[in-house]
Amino acid sequence: MPESDITILLVDDEEMVLTSIRSFLAIETDYNVHTFTSPVKALLELERLNIDLVISDYLMPDMDGITFLGKVKDKRPQVPRILLTGYADKENAIKAINDVGLYQYIEKPWNNDDLKLIIRNGLEKTILLRSLEEKIREVERAQMELMEVQKRIFRIFA
Amino acid sequence: MDELIPQHSGLLADFIDACPFPLILCDSQGKILRTNTRLQDLLGLLQIPEDRPEKLFPESCQVRIEKTLQDQSAAFEIRHEVSGRFLKLTLAPILSRDQVLAFFDDQTEQEQAALRMRSNASELERARLQTQEAEAQLAQSEKMALLGQLVAGIAHEINTPIGSINSNNDILIRSVGKMRDFLNCPQCPAPVREDPEVVKIMGILEDINRNNRIACDRIINIIRSLRTFARLDESERKRVNIHEGIDSSLVLVHHQLKNRVEVLKEYGDLPEILCFPHQLNQVFLNILVNAEQAMPVKGTLTIKTLREGDTVLVRISDTGVGIPEENLKKIFDPGFTTKGVSVGTGLGLSICHKIIQDHRGKIAVDSEVGKGTTFTITLPVQ
């Protein structure tokens, strides 16, 4: 799956963080990145967009990152969710990670290489799941065709 | 007893009997010749020895009686051992008869009152000192807690912008690297690659990016140390590696040490210990600051850690001015300082002492004037 087919949703109330990560991903990858300063708006967009991975800040004014990622899980359970946290809320974040079932958390200030690796690994999981679903669908289709052929054969010999 | 008093002494006997003060008449050897009922009342149930007052009173009485006969009257205080009474004894010689009258004044109550007052006063003083100490420690720990919150808050606030700057710097490094790759590739026209302005700008960009990376790393390191130092998210007992705490405290005094004090770390293999990390960090910082102040010109700071059975040992040594022996004993006392009002509160080490005590540990100091000072902290692993 080419990187240009991948869409990432990035949420942080700080515009500067969005700019930094968006710029980094733009220079190093071909991912499509959608950024939001409000998790509430991001949730609305989630309905429209076909998202492959979500990254969210923890402390935000209108909704905290854990709640946001929990809602993302409800809507798109297959999409890997990554939490970006400051050190001060690390312990709460770790507790929440277990509740919401996050793929990873990244500590601020983050390292770009680590970020890229975590995103890539997270996507690999989705891609694998997606291709598994694809394979299952293919198998189902083949089975249907097979049954169709079988019916025709029955008709011929009936 | 009447027969003991020679003739013509009826008047004296009457006087003794009638005297409203406890009284003894004795001869020059201290043999009791006559007592009055007041004395018997005074000494209560005690049996008064019939013969010699030294049985009633200490040996020295005899000497005094003899002395009184030579030098006239004398007064002294004695404790009657059997009854525990505290008596003031006034001896009056009757020279013509070679006898001595001993007047007793019972001062037991006064003595006890005075004793009680003295002990009350010293208890009061002790309580006052304790209150003063507690107040000072409370004020100090409130101050530290406030400072910790402030530090943690600032660290948290700086985190996002520095995270962003750090990432942007990384992006710049990558971008300039890509530009450099483009300039070096064969498709790039030589005049562009070799243009002096391009060469100069590329050089500057690479230099400042490298510079910014170092600067960012240093800021991130300081923030990390501040957070480790404050550890406000960890108000409960925690299992930590105390090397982290020592290192974070070292970062905080780094600006005072650099170019002047060499820091030697001899860290042993330590288990994590159960403690209040921010409190211990306060102790480390305090001792490090003291060490720094003890080495105004140049010096070496050695931090050695090792495990000893179920305890962990931290030894912080400086090669500073040292502490005179008379001050060494008072060094952990609250309010003791040699630094003057503007420098020290005199509370630092007393609080360190209390924190280490609360951790069931020990803090000891060893110093030699002109050679340096070593603080040894022993902490239980559990």
Q: d(Cα A14, Cα A37) in Å, to the nearest integer? A: 7
Per the structure block, which two tokens stand in for B110?
Answer: 């006064």
Question: In this model, does residue A109 exceed pLDDT 80?
Answer: yes
Contacts of A86 in chain B (CB under 8 A): 156, 159-160
Domain co-membership, B365 together with B270: yes
Domain co-membership, B225 together with B152: yes
DSSP conformational letter for B259: T
Residue B42 DSSP SS3: helix
Question: In this model, does residue B288 exceed pLDDT 80?
Answer: yes
Q: Are residues B167 and A110, on separate chains, in Cβ contact within 8 Å?
A: yes
Q: d(Cα B342, Cα A38) in Å, to the nearest integer? A: 50
Domain span at residue B205 reads: 129-233
Residue of higher predicted confidence among B240 and A89: B240
What pLDDT does B377 receive?
93
Q: pLDDT digits over B61-90, tens only?
A: 666 666 776 766 677 777 776 677 787 878
Q: Are residues B163 and A23, on separate chains, in Cβ contact within 8 Å?
A: no
Q: Which of A11-25, B53-67, B108-122 bottoms out in mean pLDDT, i.e. has the lowest? A: B53-67
Q: Are residues B170 and A91, on separate chains, in Cβ contact within 8 Å?
A: no
Q: pLDDT digits over B127-140, tens only?
A: 988 888 778 777 77
B168 → chain A, closest CA residue: A20
Pairing of strands A104-107, B23-27: unpaired
Please count the structural domains in chain B: 3
Q: d(Cα B265, Cα B351) in Å, to the nearest integer? A: 25
CB B140 within 8 A of CB B353: no
Residue of higher predicted confidence among A93 and B346: A93
A13 → chain B, closest CA residue: B160
CB B86 within 8 A of CB B111: yes
What pLDDT does B153 receive?
79
Q: Are residues A16 and B161, on separate chains, in Cβ contact within 8 Å?
A: yes
Q: pLDDT digits over B151-197, tens only?
A: 777 887 888 899 999 999 999 999 999 999 999 999 999 899 899 99
What pLDDT does A88 receive?
56
**pLDDT, chain B, mean:** 82
**Buried b / exposed e along B166-179 (16+ C-beta atoms within 10 A):** bbbbbbbbbebeee
Establish if A46 touches chain B: CB-CB under 8 angstroms: no
Strand ranges (E), B50-131: 74-80, 85-94, 99-106
Single-letter amino acid code for the residue at B116: R
Sign of the Cα pseudo-torsion (B366, B372, B374, B375, in order):
positive
Task: Choose one of B233, B257, B285: the last residue of a domain.
Answer: B233
Please, which pLDDT band fits residue A98 given cuts at 50, 70 and 90?
A: confident
B123 within some domain: no
Single-letter amino acid code for the residue at B319: T
B247 within some domain: yes
Q: Are residues B171 and A16, on separate chains, in Cβ contact within 8 Å?
A: no
Domain co-membership, B294 together with B382: yes
Q: pLDDT digits over B4-38, tens only?
A: 555 556 888 888 888 888 888 887 777 778 888 88
Q: How far is CA B328 from CA A10, A85, B76, B279, B325, in A?
A: 60, 48, 43, 23, 5
Q: What is the ipTM of this complex?
A: 0.75
Domain co-membership, B262 together with B206: no
Q: What CATH code is carried by the domain that includes residue B151?
A: 1.10.287
Contacts of A29 in chain B (CB under 8 A): none
Per the structure block, which two tokens stand in for A39?
Answer: 């998790």
Q: Are residues A14 and B159, on separate chains, in Cβ contact within 8 Å?
A: no
Q: d(Cα B239, Cα B272) in Å, to the nearest integer? A: 6
Domain co-membership, B145 together with B65: no
Q: How far is A26 from chain B (nearest CA, A)?
A: 10
Query: What number of C-beta contacts closer than 8 Å exist between A and B?
Result: 58
Per the structure block, which two tokens stand in for B289?
Answer: 């600051």
Task: Choose one of B106, B138, B165: the last residue of a domain.
Answer: B106
Rounded to the nearest angstrom, the gap between the alpha carbon of residue A88 and the centroid of all alpha carbons in its chain is 25
Establish if B237 touches chain A: CB-CB under 8 angstroms: no
Longest C-alpha distance within chain B, in Å?
Answer: 149
Per the structure block, which two tokens stand in for B346?
Answer: 């005199």
Domain co-membership, B225 together with B319: no
Contacts of A28 in chain B (CB under 8 A): 174
DSSP conformational letter for B362: E
What pLDDT does B306 receive?
93
Per the structure block, which two tokens stand in for B28?
Answer: 């020059």
DSSP conformational letter for B46: P
**B380 phi, psi to nearest 5 deg:** -70, 145
Residue B366 DSSP SS3: strand
B111 within some domain: no
Residue of higher predicted confidence among B31 and A67: A67
Q: How far is CA A68 from CA A44, A96, A125, B75, in A?
A: 11, 12, 21, 95
Pairing of strands B32-35, A7-11: unpaired
What pLDDT does B3 receive?
46
Rounded to the nearest angstrom, the gap between the alpha carbon of residue A148 and the centroid of all alpha carbons in its chain is 37
Q: pLDDT digits over B204-248, tens only?
A: 999 999 999 988 988 888 888 777 777 655 567 888 889 988 998
DSSP conformational letter for A13: S
Q: Which CATH architecture has domain A3-157?
A: 3-Layer(aba) Sandwich (3.40)
Q: How far is B171 from chain A (nearest CA, A)?
A: 6
Interacting residues of A69 by C-beta distance below 8 A, sequence separation 6+: A54, A56, A81, A83, A100, A102
Domain co-membership, B241 together with B381: yes
Establish if A109 touches chain B: CB-CB under 8 angstroms: yes
- The structure tokens 């005297």 sit at B19
DSSP conformational letter for B286: H
Establish if B23 touches chain A: CB-CB under 8 angstroms: no
Q: What is the pTM of this model?
A: 0.60
Query: Can you state the percent helix, strand and coil of chain A, rounding each to 5?
Result: 60, 15, 25
Domain ranges (residues) in chain A? 3-157
Q: pLDDT digits over B332-377, tens only?
A: 876 677 765 445 555 678 778 888 988 999 999 988 888 899 999 9
Task: Choose one of B233, B261, B288: the last residue of a domain.
Answer: B233
Q: Are residues B159 and A108, on separate chains, in Cβ contact within 8 Å?
A: yes
Domain co-membership, B96 together with B15: yes
Q: d(Cα B292, Cα B376) in Å, to the nearest integer? A: 16
Rounded to the nearest angstrom, the gap between the alpha carbon of residue B227 and the centroid of all alpha carbons in its chain is 29
Q: Is the peptide bond before A109 cis (omega within 30 degrees of 0)?
A: yes
What count of other Cβ atoms lies within 10 Å of the Cβ of residue B79?
13
Domain co-membership, B188 together with B200: yes
Residue B271 DSSP SS3: coil
Q: Are residues A86 and B162, on separate chains, in Cβ contact within 8 Å?
A: no
Q: What CATH code is carried by the domain that includes residue B51?
A: 3.30.450.20
Q: Are residues A88 and B156, on separate chains, in Cβ contact within 8 Å?
A: yes
